[in-house]
Structure 1
Amino acid sequence: MTRDAAISEAERYFDSGRFQSDLAGLVEYQTESQNPDQRPELYRYLAEAMLPRLKAMGFDCEIHDNPDPRGGPLLIGERVEDSSLTTVLTYGHGDVIRAQTEQWREGLHPFRLVEEGDRLYGRGTADNKVQHLINIAGLESVIAARGRLGFNVRIVIEMSEEVGSSGLPEFFAAHKDRLAADVLIASDGPRLQPDVPTMFMGSRGGVTFDLVLDLREGAHHSGNWGGLLADPAMILSHALSSICDRRGQIRIAEWRPDSLTDNVRAALKDLPVTGGEGPSVDADWGEESLTPAERVFGWNSFAVLAMTSGVPEAPVNAISSRARATCQLRYVVGTDPDDILPALRRHLDAEGFQQIGIEPHDRGFFRATRLDPDHEWVRFTAASLERSSGRKPHILPNLAGSLPNDSFTDILGLPTVWVPHSYRGCSQHAPDEHVLKPLSRDALRVMAGLWWDIGARSNSSAG
């Protein structure tokens, strides 16, 4: 009954090949939540892959239909050892992004686990099947070593995260008592470096919208009408350039957050955002006064995701009648989400672009969240990860991307700590998605240690 015994149990799980076999089984479920034809797979994943394993660990589990007809099912489970002990809520999502089967490299397939060197390829390996598998296996390792967890745990597995977690807020509001806990500890997203544990305590929010300029009916010959008809693409380009300057610095005052405090700056100091796999960072892009880490984790960023006018794949000599740009603002705490689009409207009007329409996307985005880096659960988790790995973890106030953390913070009222088990070069949401074997083994070790430490802390507090 020692911490080392729990970590050794996690190592044996990996070294024996059981981890890889279990992950292969999860990857085979074609849980594309964006594909309506795969809806039965969403239920099958919970009923066949999750339910038996959790019940074998002593969880009482239920599978629920989603209150939103667009969303997939959800599983709730709980293992209560003593009501006086700490209760941890953990989470994962079993749905995956579209397979993009034809775009995978020869020899790979999205729904078959393929091993190549230190990489395990398959859809969901990085996002998110491997992540909740590691956390569940870590719990099993503690039970095997201690005979119990030493704390209570509740779990939610949803099947709609890749479509904006449809129905999750409503589900949480309806089951608030059933999901009551002291803290959320869950896993999603990447480590900053593969060999160093990472923690983050929230995420940036996001708003996606189209800017549309529709000037007239049909296109007209550029020779006969050039110089007489306004060009919607040029006008829209000038409107976009009024939102940011030439290095991407945001010009809309309401889009510039006020939350980059000294405490947040200190947490971000010296965090690596360059190097490793992926494109090189453009040093002269983004807010000039900020470090690269502050730009991506502590500030807002505006992007044009796509832009069209005319027929790009078959251009003709004609002045187009309309132009459209799909845009996105990723924002941090300190930005009023309800004023993002109204502020844009005021800005465009003031700049003389009253004709340009703003069309919000239907897909909901999660709101920005952040837990203070000095919170007691942050300090506790960081100490545990360092003890297991021998390295100080990278601590982010929030993830640069987005996830449904606002449902945990705003509805359930929980402090949230995320410990990701992937890395930035994993090809998440792209063909050839994969996870690293050494990282997975290390993640199993640190999670077994963290679950053990929570049990020791819980019993100490109860005593």
Structure 2
Amino acid sequence: MTASLLTENRRADAIERARQAYDSGRLLDDLTRRIGFRTESQNPSQADALHAYLADEIAPTLARLGFTYRIAANPTAERAPFLIAERIEDPSLPTVLTYGHGDVVRGYDEQWRAGLAPWRVTVEGDRWYGRGSADNKGQHSINFAALGAVLDARGGRLGYNVKVIFEMGEEIGSPGLNEICTLESTALAADVFIASDGPRVSGERPTVFLGSRGGVNFDLTVDLREGAHHSGNWGGVLRNPAIVLAHAIASLVDTRGAIVVDGLRPPPVSDAVRRALADIELGGDANAPEIDPEWGEPGLTPTERVIAWNTLEVLAFKAGNPDAPVNAIPPVARATCQLRFVVGTDSAHIAEHLAAHFARHGFTEVQVCVTRTAAATRLDPEDPWVDWALRSIANTTDKKPALLPNLGGTVPNDVFADTLGLPTLWIPHSYPACSQHAPNEHLLGSVAREALGVMAGIWWDLGEDARRIVEARTASSEASAPHASVIE
């Protein structure tokens, strides 16, 4: 038997071992136990559950895989701790950093349909229901199970090092994540970042994404006077803040939802991004909403509008009392808006762009307040790690994986890409119609089984290829770096 065939057979064995975690029920047992932790980071009363998930569940799991670990206090949000772990075989070997989060959004227990509950796993056909089954307990459970299978298949040695950063506050905006990664930059130093969150483009198609769109949430307020005034006595002579605000918002986008403010628009879509998205169809899963083909930026496909472009949305609008309106002109109107943006957008000056636009159009009463910002990130689609990951997944599944230059939503990828300076690969194990953050959240069992094989292939192939890729990237970086002139 040739060496390459032997390696191929051992890789296949690792993948089969990983799939056995699904077939034997071990993955379901792990997920059932983990979903039983009521880790609602949005609920301050569940702080003890956040700590317990790390101490009683994740730490023992990593210890069994040969990791040393420590639980670190959050420098900005005490109730949401971190776990930092490492498995070092040889400091000279390549190192991968991985990530997960154990917190979930509120359970909304009473809103789940009959027969389901957020804090237990209920299996109905291919669906595994439970809060966190898709986001993110199911995903990191798959990754750890696959890593264990590869360790067994390789006789306890991976051929590279693994580090873990695990947080319990992702659903409240990852407070302290950037700070802890700055403080622990040496402990978290690595050559590549590989993790799982978010959805595939569809349940049937494995996916890799390289970053995420950023997001800016901002409030627009028109506050004109104290108190409301009778609409019959004063209508027609008092400026209505709701009408003013509605016109101000309408000035930001055209009638089909395309952004018209230059400072809020991104640079043109690159050819590399267009190529990556060319064969990806948006919204193909059951229960997905019907796409409006006439909405959004003209000249782009629906996929390009979500992944490669900026979108401005009104998330909430209030004036008066919508639930019990009275015959009065309200004194104040307020809207919460959001700009999702891609790399290249002037996101640092969103408030200034909005204020200048409103001033030019005479909306001097509109006050702008930015409430939250997350950066946009994107690994170069032509980076060697990208081709490596796509080849690994295709080899495992016999499918062409989808490549998203960035996720349409937002994950804290800027911490790993910018603060830690790592090439970032995300391999999601959910799908768009999983009811993430909503009642009846679920993981697809078929996706979970395929994902176990995908991740086993990834963990295996790192042992074969990581050193070569790291050396190639280093050589390329050195060749492209400017050379200092020599003065004699």
TM-score by length of 2: 0.93
CA shift, 1:71, in A, is 5.4
Q: Is the 8 A contact 2:47 2:79 kept in 1?
A: no
Which amino acid in structure 2 is aligned with residue 122 of structure 1?
G
SS at structure 2 position matched to 1:334 = coil
Q: Alpha carbon RMSD of aligned pairs, Å?
A: 1.3
Q: 1:347-386 maps to which residues of 2 (within 5 A)?
A: 347-361=357-371, 364-386=372-394
SS at structure 2 position matched to 1:435 = strand
**1-structure distance, mates of 2:15, 2:389:** 16
**1-structure distance, mates of 2:348, 2:182:** 21
Structure 1 residue 233 and structure 2 residue 242: aligned?
A: yes
Q: Tell me the residue number matched to 1:446.
A: 454
Q: Tell me the residue number matched to 2:324.
A: 314
More off after superposition, 352-361 vs 301-310:
352-361
The list of structure 1 runs, each at least 4 consecutive aligned residues, that deviate by more than 4 angstroms after superposition, is: 459-463
Q: Tell me the residue number matched to 2:101.
A: 93
Q: Tell me the residue number matched to 1:281.
A: 291
Q: Is the 8 A contact 1:14 1:20 kept in 2?
A: yes
Q: Is the 8 A contact 1:204 1:333 kept in 2?
A: yes
**2-structure distance, mates of 1:416, 1:52:** 27
**2-structure distance, mates of 1:84, 1:8:** 30
Could you say if the C-alpha distance between residues 439 and 461 of structure 1 is closer, same or farther in structure 2, counting changes exceeding 3 Å? Answer: closer
Q: Tell me the residue number matched to 2:348.
A: 338
**2-structure distance, mates of 1:321, 1:77:** 54
Q: Tell me the residue number matched to 1:326.
A: 336
CA shift, 1:263, in A, is 1.1
Alpha-carbon displacement from aligned partner over 1:117-167 (angstroms, at most 9, x marks no partner): 110001000000111111111110001111121211001110010111000
Q: Tell me the residue number matched to 1:218.
A: 227
Which amino acid in structure 2 is aligned with residue 186 of structure 1?
A
**2-structure distance, mates of 1:72, 1:356:** 36
Q: Tell me the residue number matched to 2:64.
A: 56
Could you say if the C-alpha distance between residues 259 and 188 of structure 1 is closer, same or farther in structure 2, counting changes exceeding 3 Å? Answer: farther
Structure 1 residue 115 and structure 2 residue 99: aligned?
A: no
CA shift, 1:386, in A, is 0.3
Give ranges in structure 2 of 5+ residues lacking alignment.
1-6, 472-488
**1-structure distance, mates of 2:46, 2:100:** 19
Alpha-carbon displacement from aligned partner over 1:3-28 (angstroms, at most 9, x marks no partner): 01101101111100111011000000
CA shift, 1:69, in A, is 2.8
Structure 1 residue 168 and structure 2 residue 181: aligned?
A: no
Q: 1:96-245 maps to which residues of 2 (within 5 A)?
A: 96-147=104-155, 148-245=157-254
Q: 2:308 aligns with which of 298, 316, 320?
A: 298
Which amino acid in structure 2 is aligned with residue 149 of structure 1?
L
CA shift, 1:241, in A, is 0.5
Which amino acid in structure 2 is aligned with residue 85 of structure 1?
L
Which amino acid in structure 1 is aligned with residue 340 of structure 2?
R
Q: Tell me the residue number matched to 2:258.
A: 249
SS at structure 1 position matched to 2:279 = coil
- Percent identity at matched positions? 53
Number of positions where the alignment pairs a residue of Structure 1 with one of Structure 2: 461
SS at structure 2 position matched to 1:179 = coil
Which amino acid in structure 1 is aligned with residue 270 of structure 2?
T
SS at structure 2 position matched to 1:185 = strand
SS at structure 1 position matched to 2:377 = coil
**1-structure distance, mates of 2:268, 2:401:** 23
CA shift, 1:354, in A, is 1.1
**2-structure distance, mates of 1:69, 1:308:** 31
CA shift, 1:359, in A, is 2.1
More off after superposition, 398-407 vs 105-114:
105-114
Q: Is the 8 A contact 1:93 1:159 kept in 2?
A: yes
**2-structure distance, mates of 1:306, 1:280:** 22
Give ranges in structure 1 of 5+ residues lacking alignment.
none
CA shift, 1:102, in A, is 1.2
Structure 1 residue 412 and structure 2 residue 420: aligned?
A: yes
Q: Tell me the residue number matched to 1:393.
A: 401
Alpha-carbon displacement from aligned partner over 1:179-209 (angstroms, at most 9, x marks no partner): 0000000000001111210000000000111
CA shift, 1:462, in A, is 9.9
Q: Is the 8 A contact 1:333 1:369 kept in 2?
A: yes
SS at structure 2 position matched to 1:149 = coil
SS at structure 2 position matched to 1:235 = helix
Which amino acid in structure 2 is aligned with residue 286 of structure 1?
G
Q: Is the 8 A contact 2:202 2:284 kept in 1?
A: no
Which amino acid in structure 1 is aligned with residue 183 of structure 2?
A
**2-structure distance, mates of 1:287, 1:228:** 38
Q: Tell me the residue number matched to 2:480.
A: none
Which amino acid in structure 2 is aligned with residue 432 of structure 1?
N
SS at structure 2 position matched to 1:243 = coil
SS at structure 2 position matched to 1:343 = helix
**2-structure distance, mates of 1:458, 1:174:** 26
Q: Is the 8 A contact 1:202 1:397 kept in 2?
A: yes
Q: Tell me the residue number matched to 1:424.
A: 432
CA shift, 1:84, in A, is 2.1
Structure 1 residue 8 and structure 2 residue 42: aligned?
A: no
Q: Is the 8 A contact 1:164 1:365 kept in 2?
A: no
CA shift, 1:460, in A, is 6.4
Could you say if the C-alpha distance between residues 236 and 453 of structure 1 is closer, same or farther in structure 2, counting changes exceeding 3 Å? Answer: same
Q: Tell me the residue number matched to 2:80.
A: 72
Which amino acid in structure 1 is aligned with residue 55 of structure 2?
A
SS at structure 1 position matched to 2:185 = coil
More off after superposition, 75-84 vs 158-167:
75-84
SS at structure 2 position matched to 1:347 = helix
CA shift, 1:459, in A, is 6.3
Q: Is the 8 A contact 1:296 1:400 kept in 2?
A: yes
CA shift, 1:360, in A, is 2.2
